[in-house]
Amino acid sequence: MANFRFLTAGESHGQCLTAIVEGIPAGLKINLDEINKDMARRQQGYGRGGRMKIETDKAEFLSGVRFGETMGDPVTIKVANRDWQNWTDRMSVMGEEYGDKVTAVRPGHADLTGVLKYDRDDARDILERASARETATRVAVGGLCKQLLKACGIEVVSHVVKIGGIGIDESAVDYSQIGQGSSELNCYDPAAEEKMKQRIHEAMVEGDTLGGVFEVIIRGVPLGLGSHIQWDKRLDGKLAWAMMGIQAIKGVEIGAGFKCGELPGSQIHDEMFYDEKHNVYRKTNRAGGLEGGMSNGEDIVVRACMKPIPTLMKPLHSVDIGSGEEVLACKERSDVCAVSAASVVGEAMAAIVIAEALTDKFGNDAMVDLLAAMQAYKARVQG
Ligand code: EPS
């Protein structure tokens, strides 16, 4: 049985979203403002839909925290859906059926497969849970994990590297600023960000949507999290799974990623050097901080690619599952582009995976024991 786990529940337009997190050690001081800053970051971004004007997402702790400190109990977090007020009839828990059914299923969405698999005649029964609204709870859980990681000297940050085919110029990015600044698209190449916004505007006018790529960087991870000994203990595999588990993610890369398939070993592997100050060190990080399924002490670098959102204001050709007729897919309020939001969710999922790996290695009863175990281990491996 895993020593760290979490579950989320809730529909996009239901009363609230909730999460239960088990495995956070006792004695962790909680900074609610920090968590809510990430909740707000997830909501921002040029190209977000009207829903973001309705919500002011806040994480509310219902259990597991007393006087601002964790007790070692399962932590329950609630995120209210303000928009629920407008959906009490259509999303009534025990009332009579109300409102039109969603039957013009959207290509690229869970709609069609979901109604068939779960034997529903209204795609709303599927789309409400498939919605990326659920990621609000993941950011709350990730925010809690980030605080655990911060107490252990680990930081998780992210930035957007591509939207709608417009990429950053890596040489224009001040990597030390990532995680500090306040960019609308969470992009640290200002010239590229302007072009991305222009592209999003064009897509909006065209009734289209855009995807992109974000990068998560995890700094300060001790070497040796994860393991080479079994496929399901590999930290790179867990990170890839966590990223792919975010709605709309279609690809994940670690370090040099797909470039590894193009270049010879001499240009991929990070050569090792030695001096008394650094012990064994590397000058490059094409491995993205992971070798043999284990963290190697360098920054962990993961990229994920998000497809364009399937709700198009100029809808695609589809089929009505009620009548069987060929129709245009349904359209309802949505985002033109949510890659910057996904980057914040990526941070959260990475924080969750690293928190799990860290507590797996160093224990999760009490913070004091975890920190002591980690310090003793670092002293041994770092010499
Ligand atoms: C989201 C809330 C949703 C969408 C988006 C993400 O709000 P609504 O459906 O009420 O407009 O903006 O959801 C989707 C992209 C989707 O496919 O459902 C949020 O809170 O992030």
9: left (phi over 0), alpha (psi -120 to 50) or beta: beta
Whole-number pLDDT of residue 182:
78
CA 325 to centroid of ligand 1, rounded, Å: 27
Tell me the backbone φ, ψ of residue 368, rounded to 5 degrees: -60, -40
CA distances to 59, 218, 302, 311, 370 from 40, in Å? 10, 21, 23, 23, 30
Q: At which residue do the structure tokens 């193009």 appear?
A: 262
Neighbouring C-beta atoms of residue 189, cutoff 10 Å: 22
**How far is it, in rounded angstroms, from Cα 326 to Cα 165?**
31
Of residues 60, 82, 83, 63, the one with CA closest to residue 73: 63
Whole-number pLDDT of residue 382:
82
Strand partners, 158: 216
Whole-number pLDDT of residue 22:
98
Whole-number pLDDT of residue 195:
98
Structure tokens at 147: 């605080």
Does the beta carbon of 333 sit less than 6 angstroms from any atom of ligand 1? Answer: yes
Whole-number pLDDT of residue 337:
98
Average pLDDT of span 126-145: 98
Contact 292/230 with Cβ under 8 angstroms?
no
**Among 15, 52, 131, 307, residue to substitute to test ligand 1 (most atoms within 8 Å of Cβ):** 131
Average pLDDT of span 229-245: 98
Q: Which atom of ligand 1 is nearest to the CA of 48?
A: 12
Whole-number pLDDT of residue 2:
66
CA 13 to centroid of ligand 1, rounded, Å: 9
Structure tokens at 333: 């309020």
CA 220 to centroid of ligand 1, rounded, Å: 33
**Among 8, 11, 12, residue to substitute to test ligand 1 (most atoms within 8 Å of Cβ):** 12
**How far is it, in rounded angstroms, from Cα 290 to Cα 287?**
6
Instruction: State the DSSP code for 333.
Output: S
Give SS3 for 59.
coil
CA 82 to centroid of ligand 1, rounded, Å: 13
Of residues 181 and 160, the one with the higher pLDDT is 160
Q: Does domain 5-382 have CATH number 3.60.150.10?
A: yes
Instruction: State the DSSP code for 81.
Output: -
Whole-number pLDDT of residue 172:
94
Per-residue pLDDT for 221 more than 60?
yes
Structure tokens at 79: 């995120």
Does the beta carbon of 131 sit less than 6 angstroms from any atom of ligand 1? Answer: yes
Q: Which atom of ligand 1 is nearest to the CA of 54?
A: 10
Per-residue pLDDT for 383 more than 90?
no
Whole-number pLDDT of residue 332:
86
Does the beta carbon of 41 sit less than 6 angstroms from any atom of ligand 1? Answer: no
Whole-number pLDDT of residue 363:
97
Contact 77/18 with Cβ under 8 angstroms?
yes
Q: At which residue do the structure tokens 């107490």 appear?
A: 151
Q: Which atom of ligand 1 is nearest to the CA of 136?
A: 20
Lowest mean per-residue pLDDT among 178-182, 235-239, 263-267, 331-335: 178-182
Mean pLDDT estimate for the chain = 97
Average pLDDT of span 369-382: 96
Give percent of the chain with pLDDT exceeding 70. Answer: 99
Whole-number pLDDT of residue 177:
92
Per-residue pLDDT for 197 more than 90?
yes
CA 136 to centroid of ligand 1, rounded, Å: 10
Shortest-distance Cα residue to atom 10 of ligand 1: 51
Average pLDDT of span 137-163: 98
Per-residue pLDDT for 1 more than 70?
no
Of residues 277 and 191, the one with the higher pLDDT is 191
Of residues 265, 324, 312, 277, the one with CA closest to residue 112: 324
Does the beta carbon of 133 sit less than 6 angstroms from any atom of ligand 1? Answer: yes
Shortest-distance Cα residue to atom 20 of ligand 1: 133
**Among 334, 336, 345, residue to substitute to test ligand 1 (most atoms within 8 Å of Cβ):** 334
Of residues 23, 80, 105, 171, the one with CA closest to residue 312: 105
Q: Which residues contact 93 (CB under 8 A, 6 or more apart)?
A: none
Q: Which residues contact 320 (CB under 8 A, 6 or more apart)?
A: 103, 104, 105, 326, 327
Of residues 224 and 2, the one with the higher pLDDT is 224
Lowest mean per-residue pLDDT among 90-94, 141-145, 330-334: 330-334
Average pLDDT of span 150-159: 98
